[in-house]
């Protein structure tokens, strides 16, 4: 077992793999990562599935069967992806049984529904029913239309991974949506102890957007702030999480069996080669959080990641000063957040299109 990853887990950080394939499941690689690399959860997205389906022959037979049944491309995608997530849930089931909140596998609603509340709810229900595993998480984007969908889905006892969170203000709204969903679930008689949620706060994309603006400004003050926005933003968000946990509203739900909606640090692969490749892991160590990593980041952390204890608790005010300095240097913070969410949805939609084209190509091969 990797000692560095074990130390990270011992610090209270849940290590999730941001990747999944049928090959990982069937060869035992996923189970091996659980045993040897302290992996206790999995996140997926359409690009991950597109890569898995394009690269592997393990999907061919199922594709042929679905084509023979007359399924269209959306139905084939649904069947392929839910089967992988269902089987990954089974691999992670022992983790779910021995831990309070881990052993979870995420699958997301179609990205083109990001601005349609009712369609998002319907998609989430369909995915939850198809995967049919208590340790699944349905990914719903934190768009304005996504917030009421989160509440509605949680209210029905469905566990949720809220994704595409960039701003602390939107994160506050996500936490409110979760609490409201729990309150409605309680009123409907659901067992709150069975509901899980994480709030996926995106990290590296924040630095990419802010750094480019700081470089255009070009002053010494601006350039000195490069690479600091993402971690600062996440630390402020964690301060908001601490505030939620201290609220009377949460305490009442916790007494009824509810579990916290843990912050999940997403987009943790470093995009700027000048930065340490473990930056968004080492600098965001704090208990009761999840860090979902692509395998490259996971391996880097296992090989040379440095841990210096809790890097987040009690640092929200200091982090806010960093964000204030970025604004003072001339960066329009509100515009940054607007661009990141808009681009995030667009990237998810492009990712879905990539998956559709990949599966369509596999279906054509099956017909040949």
Q: Which residues are catalytic?
A: 139
Rounded-to-5 percentages of helix, strand, coil across the chain = 60, 10, 30
CB 44 within 8 A of CB 17: no
Q: Which helix (H) or strand (E) holds 252?
A: helix 248-255
Half-sphere exposure for 84 (CA within 13 Å, toward CB): 29
> Which positions ≥6 away from 330 have C-beta within 8 Å?
213, 217, 219, 222
The DSSP secondary structure of 317-364, one letter per residue, reads: HHHHHHHHHHHHTT--HHHHHHHHHHHHHHHHHHHHHHHHHHHHHHHH
Name the β-bridge partners of 107. 138
């Amino acid at each position: 077992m990797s000692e560095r990853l074990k130390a990270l887990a011992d610090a209270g950080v849940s290590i999730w793999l941001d990747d999944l394939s049928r090959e990982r499941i069937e060869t035992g690689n996923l189970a091996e990562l659980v045993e040897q690399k302290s992996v206790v959860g999995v996140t997926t997205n359409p690009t991950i599935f597109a890569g898995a389906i394009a690269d592997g022959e393990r999907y061919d037979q199922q594709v042929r069967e679905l084509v023979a049944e007359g399924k269209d491309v959306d139905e084939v995608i649904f069947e392929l992806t839910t089967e992988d997530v269902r089987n990954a849930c089974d691999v992670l089931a022992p983790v779910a049984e021995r831990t309070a909140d881990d052993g979870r596998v995420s699958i997301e609603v179609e990205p083109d529904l990001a601005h349609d509340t009712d369609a998002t709810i319907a998609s989430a229900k369909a995915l939850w029913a198809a995967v049919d595993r208590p340790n699944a998480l349905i990914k719903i984007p934190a768009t304005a239309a996504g917030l009421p969908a989160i509440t509605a889905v949680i209210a029905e006892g469905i566990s949720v991974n809220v994704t595409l969170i960039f701003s602390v203000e939107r994160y506050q709204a996500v936490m409110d949506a979760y609490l409201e969903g729990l309150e409605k679930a309680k009123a409907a008689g659901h067992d709150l102890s069975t509901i899980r949620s994480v709030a996926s706060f995106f990290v590296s994309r924040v630095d990419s957007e802010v750094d480019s603006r700081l470089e255009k400004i070009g002053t010494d003050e601006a350039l000195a702030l490069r690479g600091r926005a993402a971690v600062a933003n996440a630390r402020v968000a964690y301060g908001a999480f601490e505030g939620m946990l201290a609220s009377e509203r949460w305490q009442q739900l916790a007494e009824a069996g509810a579990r916290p909606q843990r912050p999940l640090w997403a987009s943790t692969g470093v995009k700027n080669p000048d930065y340490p490749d473990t930056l968004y892991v080492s600098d965001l160590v704090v208990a009761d959080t999840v860090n979902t990593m692509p395998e490259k980041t996971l391996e880097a952390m296992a090989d040379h990641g440095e841990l210096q204890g809790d890097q987040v608790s009690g640092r929200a005010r200091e982090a806010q000063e960093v964000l204030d300095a970025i604004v003072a240097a001339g960066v329009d913070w509100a515009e940054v957040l607007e661009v990141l969410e808009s681009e995030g949805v667009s990237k998810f939609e492009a990712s879905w299109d990539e998956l559709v084209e990949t599966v369509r190509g596999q279906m054509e091969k099956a017909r040949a």
